Chain A
Amino acid sequence: MKYELQPALPPPSSMIGVVGWLRKHLFNGPINSIATIVVGYFLISLLVPTVQWIFIDSDWVGDSRDACTSGGACWVFIANRLDQFLYGFYPEAEHWRVQLAFIILIGSIIWLVLPQTPKKGLVAALLLVVYPIIAFFLLYGNAFGLVQVETHLWGGLSLTLVLAVVGIVASLPLGIVLALGRQSEMPIVRSVCVTFIEIWRGVPLITVLFMASVMLPLFFPEGMSFDKLLRALIGITLFQSAYMAEVIRGGLQAIPRGQYEAADALGLGYWQKMILIIMPQALKLMIPGIVNTFIALFKDTSLVLIIGLFDVLAIGQAANQDPKWIGYSTESYLFVALLFWVFCFSMSRYSQHLEKKLHTGHGNRA
């Protein structure tokens, strides 16, 4: 006699498929059902008109406000000023220089982000050391047969990127020095670093920018004048280096004590220990933190409009004042918001992905 197991019956139809999913995730219990209906109604009544306004009732082509007749969003406004949103007042014939600078930047970043590419270290070093010089001559010119473009003509998204990239690259070495100083055994070095970090972290960026634009000229001898952009960059770098120092300190503290002790036991000096043992391990852990500071800085660059620089938000503000296009400020805010959002969201996703990937490291991050 042979006993055979009957095949299992399929689950009841209310537990699988679309119905099952709905029951499990949206209508499990009376309170949840009511909540689903209320929130669903709210979302639909909010989203449907918005989508209609943005996509269906909107005007996309034309060259003056007369083209905006459908009652929805007037994207003609944005399309007409797209060049300004991207390049500010940079001369049109020279736009290729900005494009080239950012193609190199994005190319090397993609190289660094992709998992299989070789020689990441070399590319990173080139990006941090050589690229700023190339980018400076490309954007500013006045050398190698390139026409000079004064910084007051810079603007739009490219200025936003310049501010953010310079801010982060320049604050990295300063941040490393400050973080090491904060952990130093020398009391004076430590207190100087702690004071510096806490002062910058304690004040809003806007007062730092005010200080950079109003007080900095007073600090230097008569006749030494700074470009407005340079002053803003100095302020942003000093401010950002304090935050960077704290990120780096976090990375340093995540390295188990045993690593420090082992390096000491091998007879390595302080700098050998830091460069050969600690930093390579800590840097890996810091990348998500650095990306997060970069996101914060990227959003904060919009503050430079208060001291009179034309970043992408300031271009939008100026466009809204144009008498020919009064009444379309929502469109320009939405467009600028979308630009910022795409950058920040993709970076934060990348940082989350890295955090997951790097989580396999030292288990004892208390």
Chain B
Amino acid sequence: MSSDMSNSSHKPDDGSEPKNGPPSNQPKFWNDPKKRSLLFQVILLAALGFVFYTIIDNTLTNLEQRGITTGFDFLTREAGFGIAMSLIDYTEASSYGMTFIVGLLNTILIAVMGIIAATILGFILGVARLSDNWLIAKFSALYIEVFRNIPLLLQIFFWYYAVLRTLPHPRQSIEFFGSFINNRGFIFPAPVPEDGFGVVLFGLLAAIIVSWLIARWANKRQELTGQQFPVYLTALGLIVGVPLLLFLLSGMPLGLDHPELKGFNFKGGITVIPELIALWLALSIYTAAFIAETVRAGILAVSHGQTEAATALGMSKAKTLRFIVIPQALRVVIPPLTSQYLNLTKNSSLATAIGYPDLVNVFAGTTLNQTGQAIEVIAMTMAVYLTLSLLTSLFMNWYNARIQLSER
């Protein structure tokens, strides 16, 4: 049930009176659908107005009695509490407004990480469920049925309390390739760019642009002459090869900041807090089960005749998949996929249960408790999620309209 199709269903009697009828046939006003519907709507508006007036009036009285100020002035006041993880500079002296930004960025980070992992895992599982290998198909079905039917919050708790918190202390960390895993998280060396690293980045950018130009040229040539060009291989070679070559030529200008055990904890390197890992694992494993079902439905929606026709034309199995099945399946898959992405983003708010500093935890949690300004804080939090879902449904409508054109 996605886009708005509200008025497609029925047309009731339009209520126009017989034009030449005698005036005595004029229906009473409550029998005239037009006037009646006008009356209904006026009543509805009045009732809504009354409800909102009462709520606002009560709220203002209550707030005044409790001595809570209103308005958004609190956003500029000093927050005075620390946040475990921040993508931007944040100290206790930062303002409440900054806590909003920090929370929002952390929410976006976990959403993006989750979406990438869930998509990859979900596509693999969805295809695996249709595999003609019995074991693989059953394994995928088992995965989907198990993880889909267990509450996400329980899975988050499991990863956090039963797995990550039971890892050894920093002193007994599990070590591999200079990285460490312990109950404070995952700590790995931080790359430190040195002089000349800019050249490598520039090379990467140039390679991407050149690949894009080649893809455009190859596409045009194929449309005109039918000759194909190995675009993907060339692009891969360019994007990996050019920066690598420059990197080696300029004398590997990238240092590593290795984490070291100092006292009871690690110094240096990059630390990924266990809350983030637990949330990421749970969100991607849970959502992947739903995405897998979406992908399976999409592939099954491509009629069998399409595959047979491709085989009859002599296309290989891989080409059939790439040129026939996937483009048609994507049309079915993408709308529910976007709503799964949206679900994942909304579900990331469960972070608050294990203390990952996302928007709900930091802003609708600590900031709300310290300022007491529940109305403003909850309204801002809800507005963020509403904006996200509004943008998603706009995208979905645009996408639906776009693929509808190419339909036969």
Contact = CB atoms under 8 A, between A and B. Distances in A.
Contact of A303 (B41, B62, B149, B153): B153
Most A CB contacts (10 A, CB to CB) among B1, B148, B151 go to: B151
B252 to A, nearest CB: 36
A192 interface: yes
Residue in A188, A221, A313 with the greatest tally of chain B CB atoms within 10 Å: A188
B61 A185 contact: no
A182 interface: yes
A249 B346 CA distance: 23
Contacts of B8: 253
B153 A341 contact: no
B149 A36 contact: no
A158 B205 CA distance: 59
Contacts of B10: 183, 257, 260-261, 264
Interface in B132-164: 132-136, 139, 145-146, 148-154, 157-158, 161-162
A329 B162 contact: yes
Nearest to B142: A43
B154 A313 contact: yes
A329 B161 contact: yes
A75 B10 CA distance: 59
Contacts of B152: 299
B9 A211 contact: no
B135 A36 contact: yes
The majority secondary structure among interface residues of chain B is: helix
A336 B37 contact: no
B134 A25 contact: yes
A264 B38 CA distance: 21
A222 interface: yes
Contact of B381 (A26, A207, A217, A336): A207
B65 A340 contact: no
B48 interface: yes
A233 B134 CA distance: 45
B40 A189 contact: yes
Given A194-B6, A201-B389, A185 B157 contact: no
A219 interface: yes
B12 A264 contact: yes
A304 B378 CA distance: 17
A38 B133 CA distance: 12
A189 B7 CA distance: 13
Interface in B170-220: none
B153 A183 contact: no
A183 B133 contact: no
B346 A43 contact: no
B5 interface: yes
Nearest to B365: A210
Nearest to B339: A201
Nearest to B152: A299
Interface bracket on B: 35 or more
B350 A206 contact: yes
Interface string A198-239: 110111111100110011011111100000000000000000
Contacts of B59: 218-219
A319 B198 CA distance: 55
A220 B80 CA distance: 32
A270 B12 contact: yes
Nearest to A187: B41
B352 interface: yes
Contact of A26 (B48, B133, B153): B133
Contact of B390 (A202, A246, A270): A202
A190 interface: yes
A333 B132 CA distance: 34
A186 B40 CA distance: 9
B374 A188 contact: no
A218 B63 contact: yes
A32 interface: yes
Given A189-B44, A201-B389, A300-B151, A221 B58 contact: yes
Contact of A28 (B132, B139, B146, B347): B132
A353 B9 CA distance: 28
Interface in A309-352: 313, 317, 320, 329-330, 333, 336-337, 340-341, 344-345, 348
A340 B149 contact: yes
A295 B148 CA distance: 10
Contacts of B272: none
A194 B393 CA distance: 14
B375 interface: yes
Contacts of A340: 149-151, 154
Interface of A: 25-26, 28, 32, 35-36, 39-40, 43, 182-183, 185-190, 192, 194, 198-199, 201-207, 210-211, 214-215, 217-222, 246-247, 249-250, 252-253, 255, 257, 260-261, 264, 270, 295, 299-300, 302-303, 305-306, 313, 317, 320, 329-330, 333, 336-337, 340-341, 344-345, 348
17 contacts: A25-B134, A28-B132, A32-B132, A187-B41, A188-B44, A190-B7, A202-B385, A202-B389, A207-B382, A218-B59, A218-B62, A221-B58, A246-B1, A247-B1, A250-B1, A252-B9, A253-B9
Given A35-B136, A183-B9, A188-B45, 6 more contacts: A190-B7, A198-B390, A202-B382, A202-B385, A214-B374, A340-B149
6 closest A-B pairs by beta carbon, nearest first, are: A260-B10, A25-B134, A344-B149, A202-B389, A204-B346, A299-B151
